[in-house]
């Protein structure tokens, strides 16, 4: 029996997750990527799989399913991953109150979280700054991968596991009647075409992009030089600013009080969308970030004062032996403006667009792709 056919446009994390879901469903899949490898937002992030940021219910379940898939792929391929959880630190009474409330709420929801005293943190995480530390909230759910390594290796895994074909340096410039066109060179047809090209989908369906409730977000990030071998964070570290960033944290009754305090004392951070996190990769570099600027187009030049604000805040929560910075960069990703967590629509028969995951692509893509492909093929 001949396999059903599918084409995926884009080899970022959403495209790879979609190709995997189609391959699992028995499709013969071709993936077209305009570049020689993935170079967009999918490799320009922490590599955090972050269930704690998702509200209980569909999104938390989706995040945990994605985490499960990441761990399966890591085990099969040898891609580095670290199920290290996350530690959210409180350096004011207001931050500590929010963490205490979240600990109670999350435990009732069945999440694996614990409140840590300052003394426990001092004993277990010697690189955390102790001055004015009240305590922290530890979550066991979070997983780290290196997005640069993962996005380079997963295509090989998908080819070997499901026979998925990758066409690099092939820019799709038109889709019509279930046929994709690569300039004047070639045309490929398929029963299902899924556009997963991030912010670039506006070039294929500009009228859809223009009418969508979607914007773009530019973030700035940094990465340290390799740290000494004995430096082990053992978890992902977050400061109090992160409590304002994630949807699940809005459940805390005292969050408005914390927001008011931070607005008064740290408005330059809030106005630049900065919340500070640090994650250690497999070769002992520390990835640090990030800021958030929203709009349809951006100045291509990174702002040094934003990077300095991030580093200044980091020094207040973490002692890094070698503070030299090896790399800085920015990424741009699409984000819904109406509160939706993703966009899935069909601009013409047999063609689907998956977009708008915001900064949660690493966390949600694998689970979301399984759900959406199941719906598309009627399972």
Residue the block writes with tokens 């340096």:
169
pLDDT, residue 201, reads 79
pLDDT, residue 96, reads 98
Integer CA distances (angstroms), 284 to 143, 146, 226, 321, in order: 16, 11, 5, 11
Q: Which domains does the chain have, with CATH numbers?
A: 5-44+148-212+342-376 (3.50.50.60), 86-140+214-336 (3.30.9.10)
Q: Residue ranges of the alpha helices (H) in 25-92?
A: 58-77
| Average pLDDT for 344-368 | 95
pLDDT, residue 183, reads 84
**pLDDT band, very low/low/confident/very high, at 379 (cuts 50, 70, 90):** low
List, for residues 31-84, the tens digit of each pLDDT value: 999 999 999 999 999 999 999 999 999 999 999 999 999 999 999 999 999 999
Check pLDDT > 80 for residue 30: yes
List, for residues 250-273, the tens digit of each pLDDT value: 999 999 999 999 999 999 999 999
List, for residues 36-51, the tens digit of each pLDDT value: 999 999 999 999 999 9
pLDDT, residue 79, reads 97
Check pLDDT > 90 for residue 185: no
Q: What angle do CA 266, 274, 105 make, to 5 degrees?
A: 90
Check pLDDT > 90 for residue 202: no
258 backbone dihedrals φ, ψ, rounded to 5°:
-65, -40
Do the beta carbons of residue 371 and residue 23 sit within 8 Å?
A: no
Do the beta carbons of residue 366 and residue 65 sit within 8 Å?
A: yes
Work out the percent of the chain whose per-residue pLDDT is above 90: 92
CA 196 to chain centroid: 15
């Amino acid at each position: 029996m001949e396999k059903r056919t599918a084409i995926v446009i884009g080899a970022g994390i959403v495209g790879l997750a979609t190709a995997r879901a189609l391959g699992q469903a028995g499709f013969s899949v071709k993936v077209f990527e305009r570049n020689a490898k993935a170079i967009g937002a999918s490799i320009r992030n922490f590599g955090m799989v972050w269930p704690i940021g998702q509200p209980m219910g569909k999104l938390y379940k989706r995040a945990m399913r994605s985490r499960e898939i990441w761990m399966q792929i890591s085990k099969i391929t040898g891609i580095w991953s670290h199920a290290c959880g996350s530690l959210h630190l409180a350096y004011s009474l207001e931050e500590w109150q929010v963490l205490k409330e979240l600990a109670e709420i999350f435990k009732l929801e069945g999440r694996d979280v614990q409140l840590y005293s300052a003394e426990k943190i001092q004993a277990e995480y010697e690189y955390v700054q102790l001055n004015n530390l009240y305590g922290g909230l530890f979550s066991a759910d979070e997983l780290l991968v290196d997005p640069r390594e993962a996005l380079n290796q997963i295509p090989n895994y998908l080819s070997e596991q499901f026979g998925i074909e990758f066409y690099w340096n092939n820019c799709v410039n038109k889709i019509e009647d279930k046929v994709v066109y690569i300039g004047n060179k070639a045309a490929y047809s398929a029963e299902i075409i899924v556009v997963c090209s991030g912010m670039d989908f506006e070039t294929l369906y500009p009228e859809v992009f223009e009418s969508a409730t979607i914007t773009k977000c530019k973030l700035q990030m940094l990465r340290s030089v390799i740290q000494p071998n004995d430096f082990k964070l053992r978890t992902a570290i977050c400061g109090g600013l992160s409590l304002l960033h994630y949807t699940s944290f809005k459940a805390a009754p005292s969050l408005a009080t914390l927001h008011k305090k931070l607005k008064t004392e740290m408005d330059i951070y809030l106005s630049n969308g900065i919340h500070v996190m640090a994650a250690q990769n497999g070769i002992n570099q520390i990835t640090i970030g990030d800021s958030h600027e929203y709009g349809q187009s951006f100045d291509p030049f990174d702002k040094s004062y934003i990077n300095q604000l991030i580093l200044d805040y980091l020094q207040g929560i973490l002692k890094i032996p070698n503070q030299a910075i090896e790399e800085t960069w920015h990424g741009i990703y699409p984000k819904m403006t109406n509160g939706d967590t993703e966009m899935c629509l069909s601009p013409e028969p047999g063609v689907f667009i998956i977009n708008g995951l915001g900064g949660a692509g690493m966390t949600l893509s694998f689970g979301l792709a399984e759900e959406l492909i199941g719906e598309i093929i009627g399972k």
